Amino acid sequence: MSQPAPEIQVCVLSQPRLLGAVRAMLETFAERIGFCETRRGELVLAVDEAMTNIIRHGYGHAPDCRIWLSLRELPSPRRGIRVEIEDHQAAFDPEEVSGRSLDEVRPGGLGLHLIRQLTNVCRHERRSEGGMRLVIEKFCDDASTGPSPAGTQTPGAASR
Amino acid sequence: MSQPAPEIQVCVLSQPRLLGAVRAMLETFAERIGFCETRRGELVLAVDEAMTNIIRHGYGHAPDCRIWLSLRELPSPRRGIRVEIEDHQAAFDPEEVSGRSLDEVRPGGLGLHLIRQLTNVCRHERRSEGGMRLVIEKFCDDASTGPSPAGTQTPGAASR
Amino acid sequence: MTSVDAMTIVEEPRGDALVLRPIGDVDLSRSPHMRERLTKAIASPAKRLIVDLSKVPYMDSSGVATLVEALQHCRKAGKKLVLAALQPKVRSIFEIAKLTQVFDVVDKVDGAGA
Amino acid sequence: MTSVDAMTIVEEPRGDALVLRPIGDVDLSRSPHMRERLTKAIASPAKRLIVDLSKVPYMDSSGVATLVEALQHCRKAGKKLVLAALQPKVRSIFEIAKLTQVFDVVDKVDGAGA
Ligand SMILES: Nc1ncnc2c1ncn2[C@@H]1O[C@H](COP(=O)(O)OP(=O)(O)O)[C@@H](O)[C@H]1O
Ligand SMILES: Nc1ncnc2c1ncn2[C@@H]1O[C@H](COP(=O)(O)OP(=O)(O)O)[C@@H](O)[C@H]1O
């Protein structure tokens, strides 16, 4: 890749108790980049949801798998952050599982919806080494909550 | 190495503005492990001083070098954390530069002193790949401030 | 240390209501514990459960799912579930999920008739 | 974005004293900016500098070094440097460095004769 190195790269074990430390790091990084409290809270939630999904659906709660994150300041003039979140799980098709309709009241089915809603760019890729890469971008001056429309409403179909 | 994988590994560019994010992560990790506010503040300061020294003395403020950290919960019954901080700089001899005497009032010369004072284990190693590895351990129930005596008083002798 | 953390949840009976006050972030590591405590509270004689979220600065969808589940169980048991004192970040996840209409949400525990 | 951050430092003249109130962590990314501001303040007509640390939750040795350097410059210039309202974590680094005796340290800005 010809893009500059990420400012911060993290490899974290797939354990829920470690999520808080990653959130704290991202929150502080976003603050230094110039995100207001609301926007950085949204970014942190989106990334937390992605890690939560990997732990639950990707790794089925196995505590010794790995999640990789890279944090990058977006090049000016666009102020913002790109976060890439990678796993080594069996791939799933995010088009197939675009979250539930928000009009149903039931537990769950909210994660993918939140990730799309809270970010300016949100793209799933298959890694050539196996597993998935979720690329998220969030801009400092994102006035609305996210651009990406909720896709088709077919919850709970994918891997594991 | 036969020891279990570190809970969290970080690779961060050698830029002062990124230190805050690493501190926030370590602080939250230590809180979850069970460190009280005072002890985790000490651990965070020790690790910050180590990164600061690498940025200043190891890399001479070059912003595109790398610092690696690994965070590991110590196996029970010892509650605590091991942090390893690695760089790819020219090696220096920490025995030769054990910080200034605290009776002199002058700016600087405090970093190594603090690192030793605030930790229960503090050991510099040469990496076989080049560069240094600083291994720090801090226990939750560390009642005193650190065990390691200040070494010889020969400030400002090493590399760069 | 297990992978799932216990969290402090203060319980306080108030007349025929029970106030539950979780303290700290409610994420995937803590929502299982909150779920357990809610299940117990629903099985108690209390007619209303008031979840005081004033001490919860952060909640993710696993916490929201836990509360939605508790709401369903309360309805089945003929009980009321009230959410009180949501901090702004927590309120906004309920708003995005269009759940502020579904729950009884009040500004203060005292406003929950407790 | 440069590698060295500006930080907010509020300045407030009080009689013949100047109060400097940095806001936020003082680490390697911010101590150069604090150094600049202290240098200017020492060059000002103020006879005493009072550094109000009540809004500094964290300081590392680069911040301490900056203050030690300012102390030396103040002494040369026949001025007084007072540190006020240190938070516990910041106080403890001054204690470990045996610097609480070297600086004038007061609990409150008002106690600094300002
Ligand atoms: N990282 C992932 N790996 C595998 N499957 C996933 C992943 N993320 C989401 N999914 C699938 O998409 C569905 C919807 O996810 P989500 O919207 O987060 O709701 P929930 O996690 O509550 O089911 C999940 O039930 C799961 O089948
Ligand atoms: N990571 C490092 N790489 C190279 N030299 C170092 C490193 N850490 C410390 N040193 C050397 O040890 C000396 C003492 O370090 P320290 O006690 O932190 O005080 P200061 O950094 O203020 O000089 C430094 O001046 C430097 O010569």
Supply the pLDDT for residue B23. Answer: 98
* CA contacts within 13 A on the Cβ side of B12: 26
* pLDDT tens string B48-79: 999 999 999 999 999 999 999 999 999 888 89
Supply the pLDDT for residue A150. Answer: 38
Q: What is the mean pLDDT of chain A?
A: 85
Q: Does the pLDDT of residue A148 top 50, yes or no? A: no
* pLDDT tens string A99-129: 566 666 667 789 999 999 999 999 999 999 9
Supply the pLDDT for residue B82. Answer: 98
Mutation pick for ligand 2 pocket among B57, B104, B106, B116 (CB with most ligand atoms within 8 Å):
B57
* pLDDT tens string A38-92: 999 999 999 999 999 999 999 999 999 999 999 999 988 889 999 999 999 877 7
Mean pLDDT, residues A29-45: 96
Assess if residue C113 is contained within a domain. Answer: no
* pLDDT tens string D54-99: 999 999 999 999 999 999 999 999 999 999 999 999 999 999 998 9
* pLDDT tens string B17-47: 999 999 999 999 999 999 999 999 999 999 9
Interface of A with D in 25-64 (CB under 8 A): 32-34
Q: What is the CATH number of the domain that holds D15?
A: 3.30.750.24
The dihedral of CA C21, C24, C25, C31: what is its sign?
Answer: negative
Q: Residue A61: how many CB atoms within 10 A of its CB?
A: 15
Q: C29: nearest CA in chain B?
A: B32
Q: Does the pLDDT of residue B150 top 70, yes or no? A: no
Q: Does the pLDDT of residue B15 top 80, yes or no? A: yes
B146 vs B140 pLDDT, higher one? B140
Assess if residue D111 is contained within a domain. Answer: no
Q: Is A99 in the pocket of ligand 1 (CB under 6 A)?
A: yes
Supply the pLDDT for residue C3. Answer: 43
B-chain residues near C1 (CB < 8 A): 33, 73
Tell me if residue B60 falls in helix, strand or coil: coil
Radius of gyration of chain B from its Cα atoms, rounded to whole angstroms: 15
**Cα–Cα distance for residue pair B18/D25, rounded to 1 Å:** 13
Q: Which amino acid is at D74?
A: C
Supply the pLDDT for residue A143. Answer: 61
**Cα–Cα distance for residue pair A51/A68, rounded to 1 Å:** 9
Q: What is the mean pLDDT of chain C?
A: 92
CA of A47 to the centre of ligand 2 (A): 37
Mean pLDDT, residues C30-53: 97
Q: Does the pLDDT of residue A152 top 50, yes or no? A: no
**Cα–Cα distance for residue pair A42/B139, rounded to 1 Å:** 35
Supply the pLDDT for residue A158. Answer: 34
Supply the pLDDT for residue A4. Answer: 81
- Of residues D6, D101, D22, D104, the one with CA closest to residue D58: D22
Could you tell me if C26 and C57 are in contact, meaning their C-beta atoms sit under 8 angstroms apart? no
Supply the pLDDT for residue A21. Answer: 98
Q: Does the pLDDT of residue C75 top 60, yes or no? A: yes
Supply the pLDDT for residue B154. Answer: 32
Mean pLDDT, residues A10-28: 98
Q: How confident is the model at residue A154 (pLDDT cuts 50, 70, 90)?
A: very low
* pLDDT tens string B99-135: 566 666 667 789 999 999 999 999 999 999 999 999 9
Cβ–Cβ below 8 Å for A9 and B11: yes
B33 vs A149 pLDDT, higher one? B33
User: Phi and psi at residue C51, in whole multiples of 5°?
Assistant: -95, 110
Supply the pLDDT for residue B101. Answer: 66
Q: Is C5 on the interface with B (CB under 8 A)?
A: yes
Supply the pLDDT for residue C43. Answer: 96
Q: Residue B74: how many CB atoms within 10 A of its CB?
A: 17
Mean pLDDT, residues C8-15: 95
Q: What whole-number percentage of chain D has pLDDT above 70?
A: 95
pTM of the predicted protein model = 0.90
Q: Kindly tell me whether chain B and chain A come into contact, counting contact as 3+ Cβ pairs under 8 Å.
A: yes
Cβ–Cβ below 8 Å for D5 and A32: yes
Quick one: tokens of A64?
């010794």
* pLDDT tens string C39-50: 999 999 999 999
The b/e string for A82-94 (b: 16+ C-beta within 10 A; e otherwise) is bbbbbbbbebbeb
Supply the pLDDT for residue A16. Answer: 97
CA A100 to ligand 1: nearest atom: 17
Q: Is B111 in the pocket of ligand 2 (CB under 6 A)?
A: yes
**Cα–Cα distance for residue pair D79/D22, rounded to 1 Å:** 20
Percent of chain B that is helix, strand, coil (3-state, to 5): 30, 20, 50
Domain covering B18-139 in this structure, CATH number: 3.30.565.10
CA of A97 to the centre of ligand 2 (A): 53
**Cα–Cα distance for residue pair C81/C68, rounded to 1 Å:** 10
Assess if residue D113 is contained within a domain. Answer: no
**Cα–Cα distance for residue pair B21/B111, rounded to 1 Å:** 20
Assess if residue C41 is contained within a domain. Answer: yes
Supply the pLDDT for residue B143. Answer: 62
Q: Does the pLDDT of residue A2 top 60, yes or no? A: no
Supply the pLDDT for residue D110. Answer: 87
Q: What whole-number percentage of chain C has pLDDT above 70?
A: 95
Asked if the peptide bond before residue A77 counts as cis, ω within 30 degrees of 0, the response is: yes
State the ipTM, two decimals: 0.90
In DSSP terms, D105 is beta-bridged to D83
| H, E, C per residue of chain D | CCCCCCCEEEEEEECCEEEEEEECCECCCCHHHHHHHHHHHHHCCCCEEEEECCCCCCECHHHHHHHHHHHHHHHHCCCEEEEECCCHHHHHHHHHCCCCCCCEEECCHHHHCC
Assess if residue C22 is contained within a domain. Answer: yes
Strands D17-23, A8-13: pairing kind? unpaired
